[in-house]
Amino acid sequence: MSRDCQVVALTGATGRIGAHLLALLLSRAFRVQAISRNPPLAGLPEERVRWIRAELSLGWPEDADAPCLLSAGPLAELAEGFRRRPPQGLSRLIALSSTSIRFKQSSTDPREREQAERLLAAEQSLAATCRAIGAHLTLLRPTLIYGTASEPRLGPLIAFARITRILPLPWPAQGLRQPVHAEDLAALMLALLEHPREGIFEVGGGERLSVAEMIERMVRAETGSPLLAVPMPARWIESIFPRWRGPLSRLGQDQLPRPEPELEALGWRPRPFLGAR
């Protein structure tokens, strides 16, 4: 264990990546200051986890004083909170951002462009605060994250396939993706805690596959075989689900993370894409 990070603050501790991180930290004898708005009522070893109830955007919680912080919650709220009341004595921050910054900056959907701009502004604001307080910053930009819970974005497709045993697959959808499992991402954050690397890194999982293949595997993992996959023009799907306009417009584009030799050197080997969990 890294000597200066024996006590770790963790935001988003009840989230998809945060819950894995909390389990990993506890399996490795770290002490944790877990931060969220709605802490769980029971079930964690009190001597190792101190739960801090806080709304991140209001300022860094005054009773969180760990020298190292893993951010697995919302980045914009963290950046706003850091701006209002920066943490005292923080030496290292490892935070989750997203490759949306790159892939959604020229989206056809203005809400997605806004989301990408907001995230980029949050990264820049956090970097400025970290410089001002002398903390090292590692920003991870994962691609699509899966695992733990069923995939909310595919909810309507999954429901339809469950009832009809038919899977309408948007077509064409040959763009490549590299989804990363939430637990692998948590393991990477832990590895970075022990072997610090400063900078911004894009992160994907252990397999590249087409969007069509990815959707098919995700829906099959939720509903079980057999399903009849029926290709359907993406513009038909958009007319049924207009809020999917942005993602549907990118089905033909590759959205792959850049290779990051510094992360590979850590020995981190994410799993191949298995489906939903």
Q: Token pair of 120, please?
A: 């980029």
Closest to 21 in 3D by CA, of 151, 193, 150: 193
Rounded Cα gap, residues 172 and 170, in angstroms? 6
Closest to 154 in 3D by CA, of 277, 252, 256, 270: 277
> Of residues 28, 37, 111, 258, which one binds ligand NAP by CB under 6 A?
37
The footprint of ligand NAP on residues 50-79 (CB under 6 A) is: 54-57, 72-75, 77
Compute the C-alpha angle 89/12/206, nearest 5°: 105
The footprint of ligand NAP on residues 237-256 (CB under 6 A) is: none
Of 96 and 157, nearer to ligand NAP (C-beta) is 96
Closest to 70 in 3D by CA, of 23, 125, 134: 23
> Of residues 9, 13, 69, 248, which one binds ligand NAP by CB under 6 A?
13
Q: Token pair of 10, please?
A: 């963790």
Q: How far is the CB of 159 from ligand NAP (least distance, A)?
A: 20
Tell me the number of residues near ligand NAP by CB under 6 A.
Answer: 24
Of 36 and 255, nearer to ligand NAP (C-beta) is 36
Q: Token pair of 206, please?
A: 């252990």
Q: How far is the CB of 209 from ligand NAP (least distance, A)?
A: 16
Residue 87 contacts ligand NAP per CB under 6 A: no
Q: Which residues make up the interface to ligand NAP (CB under 6 A)?
A: 12-18, 36-38, 54-57, 72-75, 77, 96, 98, 142, 144-145
